[in-house]
Amino acid sequence: MSFDLTRAIELTRSTGVLQLSSLGLVSLPRAMFDPTFVHLIRRLDLSGNDLRSIPQAIGTLRNVEVLFLNGNPLASIPDEIEGCISLKVLDLRDTLVSTLPPSLGRLPSIVDINLLNSRLDPVVQDLYARGGVLKLLSYLSDRDARRDLEEALRATLTVDIYSESADTEQGKERVARLVADCMAEWPSNAENGELRTVVRNAGRLFNVDLYAASSSEVRAKLLELQRDNYRKALAADIELKMRAMYYGRIDVSRVEGTVKDIMANLPELEDAQFLLDNASKLFPKEAKEIKGSVLFKDLVNLRQAMLEDRAAAVSTLQKSLMIVYPDREPHHVDQLTRAVARLLRLADDIRMLASDAGELFPPEFNAAKPKAIYKAFKEIQKEKGI
């Protein structure tokens, strides 16, 4: 063994390749991690051995680009693999690896991971099969970020929020339970953004009493915080809209009070957004005429009128489709009508589609696909410069 290793190391000095495959290895030789040698390894072949684990020292192989671990009874890969910053190819075929370290998602150069006949979690296998390496790395990167968030939340609760209570064993257990509950409250990678907000605003979201705190209360307070922030953002947008509409014709000292009056008369955030979307139709000609209560009344009337206008446009489209598909049952045509109309925001667009129904809808009813029809309609609009 020592003779083979010595020869392999000598070859590595000239080729950058360390060939240690099919040698019956149960552990890796320390010599390969020698600081004077480790930087020379660019390709490492450890395939076909009896390795059940990989040492943390694997992270010192900063220049390795290709790593073969296939054909080993490996159950896991250490987090320290993130130190292999030059790694491009990782072969894990025919191993017992069931999980991948999230830190793998930090590797900037990796382009291929072979997982054939490994024992990965079915969810991860499916993700890899559908999206390949990029999807897998994105998933691992999100899991890595999630792990960091969990540690940040634990540190924040222990040091900043419950520093006194967390000193005891009972307190530490309670913090651990609360952290676990919060991770379960936001279980998916897609919710990392909200978890980050929880960590940033922990002082405002967690009950001051550690033993009264709960993840459900945190979620409720977070939702309240998000709505409050959104309301403030809408108020700021309304102010900007007013300043633009009444440029040079508005008393700037009254703007803040006017915005407060408007927001006080809008019970729902959706109302404020509707006001912004239809500002030219709802705001009076002069800024001094703005009254929150009047704006809301006009808003309600306009919304109702737009709903009625849209319903009439949908009815027109349905009548056009009954002409295109006279042999179809009315409820089938109605389903198609509503599916297509949902893709169009403006009532005028629905009416335009109705006028061109014979051209845009295929002769065969079963060939009518809402998204395809919408795409064709938008292309015609583009050609007409609409």
Q: What is the pLDDT of residue 9?
A: 87
Annotated domain spans of the chain: 2-120, 144-213, 224-290, 303-384
Mean pLDDT (whole number) for 367-375: 96
* Span 291-332, pLDDT tens digits: 999 999 999 999 999 999 999 999 999 999 999 999 999 999
The span from the CA of 97 to the CA of 89, in Å, is 16
**Whole-prediction pTM:** 0.71
More confident residue, 125 or 46: 46
Q: What is the pLDDT of residue 71?
A: 97
Q: Place 1 in a pLDDT band, splitting at 50, 70 and 90.
A: very low
* Span 189-247, pLDDT tens digits: 889 999 999 999 999 999 999 999 999 999 999 999 999 999 999 999 999 999 999 99
Q: Is 364 left (phi over 0), alpha (psi -120 to 50) or beta?
A: beta
Using the predicted structure, report yes or no on whether residue 2 has a pLDDT greater than 90: no
Q: Is the dihedral of CA 192, 195, 199, 201 positive or negative?
A: positive
Q: Is the dihedral of CA 139, 143, 148, 150 positive or negative?
A: positive
Whole-number average pLDDT of the chain: 94
Smallest Cα–Cα separation from 49: which of 91, 20, 81? Answer: 20
Q: What is the pLDDT of residue 263?
A: 97
Collapse the DSSP code of 112 into the 3-class scheme (helix H, G, I; strand E, B; otherwise coil) and give the result.
strand
The fold adopted by the segment(s) 2-120 is: 3.80.10
Q: Place 3 in a pLDDT band, splitting at 50, 70 and 90.
A: very low
Mean pLDDT (whole number) for 371-384: 92
